[in-house]
Structure 1
Amino acid sequence: MTNNTQSLNSDIAAMAEKEFEGVYGRYRITSTDELEVQRYRLALLLCGVAFTAGLGQWLMIGPTWAWLWLLPMSIGLGLALNWIHIYLRPLHQALKLLWALGCLGAVVMAWSVGTDTMLSTVTAEPAWIWAIGPLFAALTGVGFKEFFCFGRPEAIGLTLLIPIALLGHLSGLMSGSIVMGLLGSAALLLLVLALRKFGMDAAADVGDKSVFAYLSNPQANEAL
């Protein structure tokens, strides 16, 4: 009886899976895939909320305690990169590496100048951008992936505004108000991007799994 029940549950689960025709064959969107997509979207939302709230607190109250928002922002981005579906593994690993370097840079900076003065130090000494910049570079990579896959205008805005703001501050070519304006716009765009993703079919975020299977085949990689 137990075996029959397990077999029936397996059949029901298989029927619930959505099947698609990919470039290199048919593939299924499993419940695990859908769960990963939901986790990715929640993590991206956490990152967007923290980014927006941190900049908002910085502008309204000051930078002293705004650094605390870096913690949920970094956690959210790290989890998003864990669950994001990017089939080019070198690119996926590069974004994870940038995230790790940015987190390490933030820890080094906090230890060197103190947490309370982290953000004010970045404002006064732009060279510290090199320490935390990789974290935002990883976020820019997520924005690029979202634009490349879905063509969302908020994604391209996010992809462009963050590097422009950081490079503008690093080079001294932009005033602090312009830099904050660009970062604030990028944070709001990230929030819009994250919220809009909840209305999408999970299959869109998963993408063509047949491509992943093809690229994971050593013989296929040699052919490439």
Structure 2
Amino acid sequence: MGEKQAFQPLTKEDKITVVIYRVGIVLSAIFISILAYLLTAAPADSPPVLKSVSGDILLYGLYASVALSVFFIHLYVGKFKIYLKNLLYISLVCLAALLLIGKGSLSGALLQTPASALLLLPLSGCLGFVAAKEAFCFRLFEGYLLAMIMPFYLLLVSAGRLANGGASFGLVVIAVLLVLFTLRKVFMPIAFDIGDKSAYQ
């Protein structure tokens, strides 16, 4: 469980790393919420709203925001952070594959080849790990839901099982949970994320 107390004075580095970690969470919530809004608000007879420069920018932003949280997360067990970073590196390889499939466009790859959504699984795994870690440490139970729903959502999208607005609705559910998770997390005292440094492995 997380430590809801200050075990030692916080250094400047402690404060900066926690702020960056939480900024990553906030940005992830913003990017996913905008994507959900764009999908939901688009008229049914209009061209795919995500097949655009704005769609690509949002997806690139999501990769960057998740990376911030991964690199600056504080974990007692060092091996977990190594595994998490490796998962992020795998997601970057998948990013390159998406660019290849979409001929330079992330959104183009996802729209032209629904199965390519599977290449987002490592990225969702990174964000899901962050959410589940916070759920375990601070009882933010929506974090567990996010960790389970995000990969399941991508599997359904890749299999073409979310037609007729299903993809939009699913992303809205994820966005709502992520915003709730973010609001409950970012206002916690910074010391909560640092915990007891003597217990770090």
Distance 2:38 2:57 in 1: 10
Is residue 33 of structure 2 the alignment partner of residue 52 of structure 1?
yes
Distance 2:184 2:146 in 1: 14
Residue 196 (structure 2) aligns with? 208
Task: Describe how 1:6-85 pairs up with structure 2 within 5 A.
Answer: 20=7, 27-61=8-42, 62-65=49-52, 66-85=55-74
1:42 aligned partner, one-letter code: V
Q: Which has the larger radius of gyration?
A: 1
Distance 1:64 1:28 in 2: 49
Residue 9 (structure 1) aligns with? none
SS in 2 for 1:47: helix
Could you state the TM-score of these two structures normalised by the residue count of structure 1?
A: 0.74
Q: Of 181, 186, 195, which residue of structure 2 is paired with 1:198?
A: 186
Q: Of 116, 128, 133, which residue of structure 2 is paired with 1:140?
A: 128
Is the 2:129–2:147 Cα contact (8 Å) retained in structure 1? yes
User: 5+ residue gaps in structure 2?
Assistant: 43-48
Deviation at 1:171, TM superposition (A): 4.9
* Number of corresponding residues: 186
Poorly superposed stretches of 4+, deviation over 4 Å: none
Residue 119 (structure 2) aligns with? 131
Deviation at 1:70, TM superposition (A): 0.8
Is the 2:40–2:169 Cα contact (8 Å) retained in structure 1? no
Deviation at 1:205, TM superposition (A): 1.2
Deviation at 1:138, TM superposition (A): 0.9
Is the 1:67–1:119 Cα contact (8 Å) retained in structure 2? no
User: 5+ residue gaps in structure 1?
Assistant: 1-17, 21-26, 216-224
Question: What CA deviation, in whole Å up to 9, does each residue of 1:147-166 have, x standing for no partner?
Answer: 01111132122112112212
Q: 1:106 to 1:197 in 2, by over 3 A?
A: same
Distance 2:167 2:35 in 1: 15
SS in 1 for 2:186: helix
Deviation at 1:86, TM superposition (A): 1.3
Residue 175 (structure 1) aligns with? 162
Residue 108 (structure 2) aligns with? 117
2:72 aligned partner, one-letter code: W
Higher helix share: 1
Could you state the TM-score of these two structures normalised by the residue count of structure 2?
A: 0.81
Distance 2:176 2:120 in 1: 20
- The more displaced of 177-186 and 143-152 is 177-186
- The more displaced of 70-79 and 159-168 is 159-168
Question: What CA deviation, in whole Å up to 9, does each residue of 1:22-53 have, x standing for no partner?
Answer: xxxxx443232122111111121111111111
Residue 150 (structure 1) aligns with? 138
Is the 1:100–1:135 Cα contact (8 Å) retained in structure 2? no
Distance 1:84 1:194 in 2: 15
Question: What CA deviation, in whole Å up to 9, does each residue of 1:42-77 have, x standing for no partner?
Answer: 121111111111232233342212232111111111
Deviation at 1:196, TM superposition (A): 2.6
Indicate the RMSD between aligned Cα atoms, in angstroms.
2.2
Task: Describe how 1:209-224 pairs up with structure 2 within 5 A.
Answer: 209-212=197-200, 215=201
Is residue 75 of structure 2 the alignment partner of residue 86 of structure 1?
yes
Higher RCO (CA < 8 A, seq sep 6+): 2
